[in-house]
Amino acid sequence: MQQKRRRDRLKIAALTASIVTAMPAIALAQYEPAPSFHAKEVVPRELLSSPYYEIADRVTLRDYQYVFSLQTRWGRFEVQGTELLRLRAKEMAATAQLEKVSGEETTLEAASRTALRPLSTVRGLLTDPEETISNTVKGVRKTAESVEAGIEATDPNRERPLAAISGGAQARRNLAYDLGVDPYTSFPPLDDQLTRLATASALGQVSVQAGSMFIPGAVGLPLSVGSASETLRQNLRDKTAGELERDGRQSLTAMGVPEATQDAFYRNPSLTPTDKEVVVEALRNMKGPEGSADLIAQAAGARSPQWGYIYRQQAILMASYSAKVAPIRRFAELGSWPAMETSRGTIAMFPADYLFWSRPIEQNIEAANANRPEGPAELGLIGQTSRRAAAELSSLGWEVIPDIGPRLGLKP
Query: What is the per-residue pLDDT across 51-88, written as a single tens digit (0 to 9) for each?
Result: 999 999 999 999 999 999 999 999 999 999 999 999 99
Most confident of 145-149, 159-163, 274-278: 274-278
**Please, are residues 315 and 359 in contact by the beta-carbon 8 Å criterion?**
no
Question: Cβ–Cβ contacts within 10 Å for residue 380, how many?
Answer: 25
Q: How confident is the model at residue 27 (pLDDT cuts 50, 70, 90)?
A: very low
Residue 144 lies in a domain: yes
37-60 residue pLDDT tens:
999 999 999 999 899 999 999 999
Q: pTM score, two decimals?
A: 0.80
Residue 43 lies in a domain: yes
Question: What's the confidence (pLDDT) of residue 168?
Answer: 84
- Domain stops at, among 166, 191, 213: 213
Closest to 198 measured CA to CA, from 218, 175, 166: 175
Spatial distance between the Cα atoms of 384 and 52, rounded to a whole number of angstroms: 28
112/188 same-domain check: yes
Spatial distance between the Cα atoms of 255 and 284, rounded to a whole number of angstroms: 9
Question: What's the confidence (pLDDT) of residue 162?
Answer: 61
| Mean pLDDT, residues 97-115 taken together | 56
Residue 362 lies in a domain: yes
Q: Report the CATH number that the domain containing residue 88 is assigned in CATH.
A: 3.30.160
Straight-line distance from the first to the last Cα atom of the chain, in angstroms, rounded to the nearest whole number: 77
204/141 same-domain check: yes
| Burial classification of residue 379, based on how many CB atoms lie within 10 Å of its CB (0-12 exposed, 13-18 middle, 19 or more buried) | buried
143/83 same-domain check: no
Residue 133 has pLDDT above 60, yes or no: no
198/120 same-domain check: yes
Residue 182 lies in a domain: yes
Q: How confident is the model at residue 2 (pLDDT cuts 50, 70, 90)?
A: low
User: What are the φ and ψ backbone dihedral angles of 270, each rounded to 5 degrees?
Assistant: -75, -15
| pLDDT over 70, % of the chain | 73
Residue 26 lies in a domain: no
Q: How confident is the model at residue 19 (pLDDT cuts 50, 70, 90)?
A: very low
Question: Cβ–Cβ contacts within 10 Å for residue 305, how many?
Answer: 16
Spatial distance between the Cα atoms of 314 and 209, rounded to a whole number of angstroms: 34
Residue 18 lies in a domain: no
Sequence-ordered list of residues with C-beta below 8 angstroms from that of 324, at least 6 positions apart, any chain: 408, 409
- Domain stops at, among 158, 190, 213: 213
102/127 same-domain check: yes
- Domain stops at, among 213, 231, 266: 213
152/62 same-domain check: no
Strand 53-55 and strand 37-38: the pairing is unpaired
183/124 same-domain check: yes
Domain count for the chain, please give it: 3
Question: What's the confidence (pLDDT) of residue 216?
Answer: 60
170/189 same-domain check: yes
Residue 377 lies in a domain: yes
Question: What's the confidence (pLDDT) of residue 127?
Answer: 59
Residue 115 has pLDDT above 70, yes or no: no
Spatial distance between the Cα atoms of 275 and 287, rounded to a whole number of angstroms: 19
Identify the weakest region by mean pLDDT among 128-137, 144-153, 193-202.
Answer: 128-137
Mean pLDDT score of the chain, rounded to an integer? 81
Residue 290 lies in a domain: no
The residues facing 381 across adjacent strands are 350
Residue numbers of the domain that contains 133:
98-213
Question: What's the confidence (pLDDT) of residue 337?
Answer: 73
155/116 same-domain check: yes
Q: What is the 3-state secondary structure (H, E, C) of the chain?
A: CHHHHHHHHHHHHHHHHHHHHHHHHHHHCCCCCCCCEEHHHHCCHHHHCCCCEEECCEEEEECCEEEEEEEECCEEEEEECHHHHHHHHHHHHHHHHHHCCCHHHHHHHHHHHHHHHHHHHHHHHHHCHHHHHHHHHHHHHHHHHHHHHHHHCCCCCCCCHHHHHHCHHHHHHHHHHHHCCCCCCCCHHHHHHHHHHHHHHHHHCCCCCHHHHCCCCCCCCCHHHCHHHHHHHHHHHHCCHHHHHHHHHHHHHHCCCCHHHHHHHHHCCCCCHHHHHHHHHHHHHCCCCECHHHHHHHHHCCCCHHHHHHHHHHHHHHHHHHHHCCCEEEEEEECCEEEEEECCEEEEEECCCEECCCHHHHHHHHHHHHHCCCCCEEEEECCEECHHHHHHHHHCCEEEECCHHHHCCCCC
120/41 same-domain check: no
| Mean pLDDT, residues 163-174 taken together | 81
**Please, are residues 113 and 205 in contact by the beta-carbon 8 Å criterion?**
yes
208/102 same-domain check: yes
Spatial distance between the Cα atoms of 324 and 315, rounded to a whole number of angstroms: 14
Question: Cβ–Cβ contacts within 10 Å for residue 261, how many?
Answer: 19
78/152 same-domain check: no
Question: What's the confidence (pLDDT) of residue 201?
Answer: 76
